[in-house]
Structure 1
């Protein structure tokens, strides 16, 4: 028979509950969001709706989602300061574990795609540079994942913080792997690289004492990150492909066909810059509304 105390302890370990066992809508939404891509791929594999090469599609999708969730986990710290929403920190671990889980699934699907030929897989990882980088990033994510428990944090102390600072290096490896694997179409890889630059600018601004609640500071970061994204895309095409990099750079000013990654990074940064403004307007509205109601009464 389970006592009330035991039930509370068990519920405290559920992904959608707080440490005290109370239901958290934020954690529930985040947990559902981390499961959704995997469930979609499972459904596609079972119903044969992923195309002629379903395993290959699932392989690429799991890798993409591993990087996306990794970058989202890095976004939590600056975003909670920008939005003044400290509860966001409660889902950072979940997002990081999701990144590790999708990366491990990515490797598993690669094994399936290679018909479980482990000797060939090992040689490919050693000989192919982009696979070597991806594997190193995966090992790093696994190390971070197994040390993400409360017990590991207590035992490791300051060493835990030193270890988990490797997340930024792992993100660089993951983004580079994304570029190398994407070959000529590096649109999303460029987007991820641009977001990484923005994350590093937020971190640098905070270390230098800049206020991340300032719309001006955030707008400057958005502009710098957008320009850096265009520069990264130019350098990739100039150094790694035979495609004229000048045309790619000029395409940033041509909106007839698509919006380039630099503009998406800049627009996202400007949306973050608008959050403090919205918070200020909301605060003033809450101050004025009681006075207005009192005056009408």
Structure 2
């Protein structure tokens, strides 16, 4: 979420499937539908009593998981726009960020519901349990970013201050990931995979020049770095949390007998993003040739 994406005026209550000129956007509608699918699927599971023996616990877990996933997707919008050279990708960044906030609020609401709406107990649990405390701080930060995501708030705060506030999303994501890791306790496979993808997103930003995608060799360098960082995180966590020896856990990331570990998955995804970057550069290189061919086919006007 940057001020550049919000520079053009937009109607105050524009439908989410319309672009900034008020025209219907199939792209925005498709993204909106995709963002709603997890909620619809969860509602279907609840309606058909398919959430298991502890439905509230499962629903709380799923909404929190999707909040983090969608938050990472919101951080992926800028890299995709830069790598694909497609400015219209930025049209959905606000929508994706607000969706992450909505799932996080649903996560809290379901927790309060599971507590029988005993707000005193809810506040006590949040205050006394560290992982709940940092989760609530992350939620409060998401709400602050969601509320101030409109063009009106950009004008009130000024682009520079607004942009500074919305850079807090990186800290919010870290808090959300720590909350995720702590509440999963022993099996942190999915949490480490998510943390590794966040490492890639941050590494991309460190390597990218201002307003552009990093070179392909830098993106290639990011593949092993993100994978290695994920492996180190996992080994460090197991070492601190369970006392497991660091080196065997680290080397276990190379053992594929029982499936791929998070580090290898992060490496695969990072390699996929490298392919996206290569495609974007190839596509950009072809554009002048297309224009030249189109100009050659255009008949001369006497």
Normalised by the length of structure 2, the TM-score is 0.87
Counterpart contact for 1:63–1:102, Cα < 8 Å: yes
Residues 4-53 of structure 1 show CA distances to partners (whole Å, capped at 9, x for unaligned) of xxxxx989711111122222122111101110011111111111011111
Residues 139-178 of structure 1 mapped to structure 2, 5 A cutoff: 139-157=140-158, 158-178=160-180
Once the two structures are superposed, the pairs formed by residues 87-126 of structure 1 within 5 Å of their partners are: 87-126=88-127
Distance in structure 1 (CA, Å) of the matches to 2:97 and 2:212: 26
Deviation of the 1:109 alpha carbon: 0.4
In structure 2, how many angstroms separate the alpha carbons of the residues matched to 1:97 and 1:282? 31
Q: Distance in 2 between matches of 1:47 and 1:184?
A: 30
Instruction: Determine the structure 2 residue equivalent to 1:201.
Output: 203
For the residue of structure 2 that corresponds to 1:50, the secondary structure is coil
CA contact (8 A) 2:83 2:280 kept: no
Q: Does the Cα contact within 8 Å between 1:83 and 1:213 map onto a contact in 2? A: no
Change (3 A) 1:203 1:115: same
Q: CA deviation at 1:278?
A: 2.6
Residue in 1 that maps onto 2:83: 82
- Give the ranges of 4+ consecutive aligned residues of structure 1 lying more than 4 Å apart after TM superposition: 9-12, 280-288
**What is the number of residues matched between the two proteins?**
283
Gaps of 5+ in 1: 1-8
Deviation of 1:161 (Å): 0.9
SS in 1 for 2:208: helix
Q: Report whether the alignment pairs 1:189 with 2:191.
A: yes
The Cα shift of 1:247 comes to: 3.2
Change over 3 Å in CA distance of 1:221–1:210 after alignment to 2: farther
Quickly say closer, same or farther: Cα 1:54–1:153, change in 2 above 3 A.
same
Determine the C-alpha separation between the residues in 1 that align with 2:91 and 2:114: 36
Distance 2:257 2:247 in 1: 18
**TM-score, normalised with respect to structure 1:** 0.88
Question: Unpaired segments of 5 or more residues in structure 2?
Answer: 1-9, 297-302
Q: Is the Cα–Cα contact under 8 Å of residues 81 and 90 in structure 2 kept in the other structure? A: yes
Q: Distance in 2 between matches of 1:88 and 1:280?
A: 16
Q: 1:210 to 1:226 in 2, by over 3 A?
A: farther
2:30 counterpart of 1:29 = yes
